[in-house]
Amino acid sequence: MDWYHAGLWVAVFLVAATVIVSRSNQGSPEEACTKFEVGDISSHTLAQYCGYDFSKPILVAVQGKVYDVTKAADRFGPGKPLHAYAGREVARALAKSSIDLADLGSSELHDLGAEEASRLREAVAQYDSQYDAVGQVVPLKQLTPEELAGYAGQDPSKPLYLAIKGTIFDISKGRQFYGPDGIYPFAGKECARALALMSTDEADCCGNLEGLGFTELDILRDWEAKFNIKYPVIGTLVAGTK
Ligand code: HEM
């Protein structure tokens, strides 16, 4: 075989291999159709879906209804004209055609004029037709320490929660770490002190930060950042009966 034909065969082989690899990477039709669902989400956690984290979709809420607007990243993504809407409630902003911070994050609509109300109705119809609805904004829960203790994995049908400095995270997707068979005793507890001290001692599972130094408080801040990225915030801890 001369060099020309040998080259031709190599080219044919490479094209065939590329087609096979790209087909195998497409996954099954079921996988391709899996729709992202966020379900109940607090406005605090919604803010994480603003396009800065490329592993997450871009979400926008209108009167509490959460839409996946990722396919319009050219408008809602970082640096784009509507980026201020990403990760926020925007009903009031849509009604007023505004990107003013005072209107963003607000679903206060009682003072809208007829024209603004009609603009909002049109915008809602447009969002409904263009984007998938993937969840709803729910208020933050308020749990006492006794109530929080009920989310430690005793009942497998309930989510797992823990608190850090009074902020409650849903850590259900870390069940392998925190569930009854996990290695960390943090579920159902405030665990700021334990995390700061890198301690798995149950006695350290509390919010008392007295006596901790700069290094420990820095470690705690790193944990807070990690949890804020990985887990949804679902509520705040309030004083209990004890
Ligand atoms: C010999 C000591 C330890 C080893 C080998 C170890 C190992 C690990 C590993 C492999 C992970 C998973 C990392 C990931 O996939 O993201 C992890 C996560 C974690 N570790 Fe440890 N660990 C140790 C000690 C501790 C201690 C003393 C604490 C006490 C605060 C701790 C708290 C955590 C927490 C909170 C997570 C995060 C789990 C999550 O992503 O929700 N670890 N550790």
At residue 191, φ and ψ (nearest 5 deg) are: -130, 30
CA–centroid distance, residue 217 to ligand 1 (Å): 18
Report the nearest-CA residue for atom 37 of ligand 1: 177
Average pLDDT, the chain: 89
Name the domain boundary from 108, 137, 166. Answer: 137
Number of Cβ atoms within 10 Å of the Cβ of 71: 13
Q: Looking at 19-23, 88-92, 111-115, 231-235, which range is the least confident one?
A: 19-23
Residue-wise pLDDT for 134-164, tens only, equals: 999 999 999 999 999 999 999 999 999 999 9
Report the nearest-CA residue for atom 12 of ligand 1: 177
Does a structural domain hold residue 206? yes
* Residue 159 and residue 131 share a domain: no
Rg (CA), the chain: 24
* Residue 229 and residue 155 share a domain: yes
Ligand 1 atom with minimal separation from the 186 CA:
35
Report the nearest-CA residue for atom 38 of ligand 1: 177
* Residue 172 and residue 111 share a domain: no
Ligand 1 atom with minimal separation from the 200 CA:
29
CA–centroid distance, residue 189 to ligand 1 (Å): 17
Range of the domain at 94: 39-137
- Specify the amino acid at residue 66: V
CB 50 within 8 A of CB 87: yes
Which structure tokens are listed for 195? 């995390």
Classify residue 104 by burial, with Cβ atoms within 10 Å: 0-12, 13-18, 19+: middle
What's the pLDDT score for residue 19? 43
Does a structural domain hold residue 31? no
Pocket test for ligand 1, best of 161, 177, 186, 205 (most atoms within 8 A of CB): 177
* Residue 181 and residue 228 share a domain: yes
- Specify the amino acid at residue 73: A
* Residue 120 and residue 43 share a domain: yes
Does a structural domain hold residue 71? yes
What's the pLDDT score for residue 107? 79
* Residue 196 and residue 184 share a domain: yes
DSSP letter (8 states) at residue 145: H
Using CA atoms, how far apart are residues 119 and 13, in angstroms rounded to an integer?
Answer: 57
Which structure tokens are listed for 87? 């990760």
CB-defined site of ligand 1, < 6 Å: 174, 177, 184, 194-195, 198-200, 230
* Residue 197 and residue 213 share a domain: yes
* Residue 182 and residue 111 share a domain: no
Report the nearest-CA residue for atom 17 of ligand 1: 177
Ligand 1 atom with minimal separation from the 223 CA:
35
For residue 240, what pLDDT band results from cuts at 50, 70 and 90?
confident
Cα dihedral across residues 103, 109, 110, 115: positive or negative: positive
Task: Give 68's strand partners.
Answer: 59, 132
What's the pLDDT score for residue 118? 96
- Specify the amino acid at residue 63: Q
CA–centroid distance, residue 171 to ligand 1 (Å): 14
Q: Is the pLDDT of residue 1 over 50?
A: yes
Number of domains the chain contains: 2
Name the domain boundary from 137, 161, 185. Answer: 137
CB 206 within 8 A of CB 193: yes
Identify the CATH number of the domain in which residue 169 sits: 3.10.120.10
Measuring CA to CA, which residue among 111, 131, 56, 58 is closest to residue 88? 58
Mean pLDDT in residue range 179-202: 96
Residue-wise pLDDT for 48-81, tens only, equals: 999 999 999 999 999 999 999 999 999 999 999 9
Report the nearest-CA residue for atom 18 of ligand 1: 177
Using CA atoms, how far apart are residues 99 and 82, in angstroms rounded to an integer?
Answer: 8
**pLDDT over 90 percentage in the chain:** 80
For residue 27, what pLDDT band results from cuts at 50, 70 and 90?
very low
Report the nearest-CA residue for atom 4 of ligand 1: 183
Q: Is the pLDDT of residue 218 over 70?
A: yes
Report the nearest-CA residue for atom 2 of ligand 1: 198
State the pTM of this model.
0.78
Does a structural domain hold residue 199? yes
Name the domain boundary from 137, 156, 191. Answer: 137
